[in-house]
Amino acid sequence: MNHSTVILEADKLVKTFGDSTALDGLSFQVTKGESLGLLGVNGAGKTTAMNLLLGLTTPTSGTIRMFGKDLWKHRIEILKQVNFSSAYTSLPSNLLVWQNLTVFARLYGVAKPKQRIEELLELLDITHLRKSVTGTLSAGESTRVNLAKALLNEPRLLLLDEPTASLDPDIADRVRKLLRKLQAERGLSILYTSHNMRDIEEVCDRLIFLHGGKVLAEGTPGEVHERFHRSSLEDLFIGVARGEIDAIGLKPL
Amino acid sequence: MPFSFNTVSALVLRYIYLYTRNPVRFVELIFWPLVDLLMWGFLTVYLKKQGVGEFPTAITYLIGGMILWDVLFRSQQGVSISFLEDVWTRNLLNIFVAPVRTVEYVAATCVVGVLRVGVTLLVLVLVASLAYQFHLTDLGFGLLPFLGNLILFGWFLGMISTALIMRLGQAAESLAWAVPFFIQPLASVFYPVSVLPEWLQPIAMALPCTPVFEGMRTVLAGQPVPWGSIQHAFILNLIWGTIAGLFFAVNLRHVRKAGLLVKVATQ
Ligand SMILES: Nc1ncnc2c1ncn2[C@@H]1O[C@H](COP(=O)(O)OP(=O)(O)O)[C@@H](O)[C@H]1O
Ligand SMILES: [Mg+2]
């Protein structure tokens, strides 16, 4: 792996909340143009990992480097080149879509906000929503507006926490295809969390299977489920969730 | 300390959009203070008629106190309600993952505080002068330093309220309104500090707003602007500002450690 292309480097991340350990020594890298999935059951530690990477939560121990720089020493500089979207956040519901995007374009210091916003509305096929009240959008529309916000600053790294969680299969499929396209066309790196196998298989080049804050397996989607002699990721996932597959004794590929 | 005015103005723009898009917000800015003013105003008229008028100026203390109290309150509200606005709309994480420094965020909410004060003050001053012949400009050269000190203290109370809400969670959001009223009895808004029990007086005088309200009464009684009180208030504000800043920083650190920022933002 060419070192210069490493975008994100997490090293031995540990996060404890009181007595419980949400992350137990997570290490991984994301390279330029790569999309990495964090897969795992509820409570596996996916969101915790994401929050650490975004500087929302401080790690108990371990380091995070992005673009070769330490996150906590260069937080603002790094955040300018990163963006985030999640099913669990939204843009202010009482503003119009263009107002929200204008505010964030200015927060990210976008050079030509108006033009950029038009481009993104077109790209995401939501030009007609420009003057809609953000709070009245459907889940699918809202996800696309959130994505527009997440692309405003042409991020080098996009962090997505269950972006398709509230979407129907049709819209979810469209969002996945869009992410694939962006990744291919813009060399965007993506870190994607989901408990949806389909998501990970379609969007991600590589995945980390998290369980109880530990890495259970790592590799391409195909490699991972073959390694556990399961017919599909979904099958593997169910096995882990039901305790038929134990983390003990298993090492990452 | 690095600081970007662009970031602050972008954040302020969000609140301007909010207030101009929802007329209800504007009404809220004006409605309560106006109700207050009418109450105190008519009470004043009544007292005047009853001839409780050994010192007729006493009457105007009430209106002046009410208006100046509202300056403090609106300034504090600007800071903590702006924060709550981000919590309510689940926008807080979007802001905190954007390249926004904490000082820039707090500064933006302080600017909103000043804007809120401006709108409310304009209406109150106008109505008080038309309906009750009370002219805030009677405070003369004391007016600006009085207002300035109240706005500053409002910011600091706002920062303390916000820090508490971050730490205690959204369930504690009523603190945004409770914190200023908690100090109101000590602030001597409508009566001189001397009526407080002796042991309470030093505590009251440790609040930057108390010398302002005392000073206002002095000026309305026809005496010169008490620059000593203004200086006293300003020094207290420097101390309170330091305390509020540290309190905010310590809480934010704890909140980041305990993962509470995410909790308050997504619950
Ligand atoms: N702020 C917090 N305080 C206490 N425990 C937390 C906090 N955030 C997450 N946890 C715990 O950490 C574990 C991992 O949670 P999370 O990262 O949200 O999992 P996932 O996103 O994979 O569903 C869970 O057991 C959860 O209860
Ligand atoms: Mg999660």
pLDDT, tens digit, 9 for 90 and up, residues A153-174: 999 999 999 988 878 888 888 8
**Structural domain contains residue A172:** no
Tokens of B79: 């800071």
Q: Could you give the number of structural domains in chain A?
A: 2
For every residue of chain A, DSSP letters joined together read --GGGEEEEEEEEEEEETTEEEEEEEEEEEETT-EEEEE-STTSSHHHHHHHHTTSS--SEEEEEETTEETTTSHHHHHTTEEEEETT----TTSBHHHHHHHHHHHTT-SSHHHHHHHHHHHTT-GGGTTSBGGGS-HHHHHHHHHHHHHTT--SEEEEESTTTT--HHHHHHHHHHHHHHHHHH--EEEEEES-HHHHHHH-SEEEEEETTEEEEEE-HHHHHHHTT-SSHHHHHHHHHTTSS-STT----
Kindly report the protein residue whose alpha carbon is nearest to atom 20 of ligand 1.
A43
Examine the domain organization and report whether A21 and A38 are in the same domain.
yes
Residue B200 DSSP code: G
- pLDDT tens column, B194-237: 999 999 999 999 999 999 999 999 998 889 999 999 999 999 99
Q: Among partner residues A76, A93, A103, which is closest to B14 by beta-carbon distance?
A: A103
Examine the domain organization and report whether A197 and A211 are in the same domain.
yes
CB pairs under 8 A between A and B: 104
CATH at residue A6 = 3.40.50.300
Q: Which residues of B touch A76 (CB under 8 A)?
A: 2, 99-101
Q: Do A92 and B93 count as a contact with CB atoms less than 8 A apart?
A: no
For residue A150, what are the domain limits?
Answer: 85-154
Per-chain mean pLDDT for chain A: 89
Q: Do A96 and B256 count as a contact with CB atoms less than 8 A apart?
A: no
Other beta carbons within 10 Å of A118: 15
Examine the domain organization and report whether A19 and A144 are in the same domain.
no
**Structural domain contains residue A180:** no
pLDDT value at position B253? 96
**Alpha carbon distance, N-terminus to C-terminus of chain A:** 16
pLDDT value at position A157? 96
Domain boundaries, chain B: 5-266
Examine the domain organization and report whether A75 and A89 are in the same domain.
no
**Structural domain contains residue A133:** yes
Q: What part of A 21-80 touches B (C-beta under 8 Å)? A: 47-48, 51, 54-58, 76-77, 79-80
Examine the domain organization and report whether A41 and A93 are in the same domain.
no
Examine the domain organization and report whether A205 and A234 are in the same domain.
yes
Examine the domain organization and report whether A134 and A201 are in the same domain.
no
| Calpha distance A115→A120 (Å, rounded) | 9
Q: Which atom of ligand 1 is nearest to the CA of A51?
A: 17
**Alpha carbon distance, N-terminus to C-terminus of chain B:** 33
Examine the domain organization and report whether A76 and A193 are in the same domain.
yes
Across A56-65, A195-204, B59-68, B131-140, the highest mean pLDDT is recorded for A56-65
For range B4-16, the mean pLDDT? 95
Q: Which of A226-240, B215-229, B238-252 has the lowest mean pLDDT?
A: A226-240
Kindly report the protein residue whose alpha carbon is nearest to atom 10 of ligand 1.
A22
> Residues A66, A8: contact at Cβ < 8 Å?
yes
Q: What SS3 class is residue B87?
A: helix
**Structural domain contains residue A49:** yes
Examine the domain organization and report whether A50 and A13 are in the same domain.
yes
pLDDT value at position A245? 65
**Structural domain contains residue A178:** no
Examine the domain organization and report whether A67 and A140 are in the same domain.
no
Q: Dmax over Cα atoms in chain B, in whole Å?
A: 62
pLDDT at A128 over 80: yes
Q: Sorting pLDDT into bands at 50, 70 and 90, what band is B58?
A: low
Q: Sorting pLDDT into bands at 50, 70 and 90, what band is A252?
A: very low
Residue of chain A whose Cα is closest to the Cα of B7: A107
Other beta carbons within 10 Å of B141: 12
Examine the domain organization and report whether A219 and A96 are in the same domain.
no
Final residue in a domain of this structure, among A154, A178, A203: A154
Q: Please state the pTM of the whole predicted model.
A: 0.92
Other beta carbons within 10 Å of A251: 8
Q: Sorting pLDDT into bands at 50, 70 and 90, what band is B243?
A: very high
Q: Sorting pLDDT into bands at 50, 70 and 90, what band is A250?
A: very low
- pLDDT tens column, B162-194: 999 999 988 899 999 999 999 999 999 999 999
pLDDT at B260 over 60: yes
Q: Do A51 and B99 count as a contact with CB atoms less than 8 A apart?
A: no
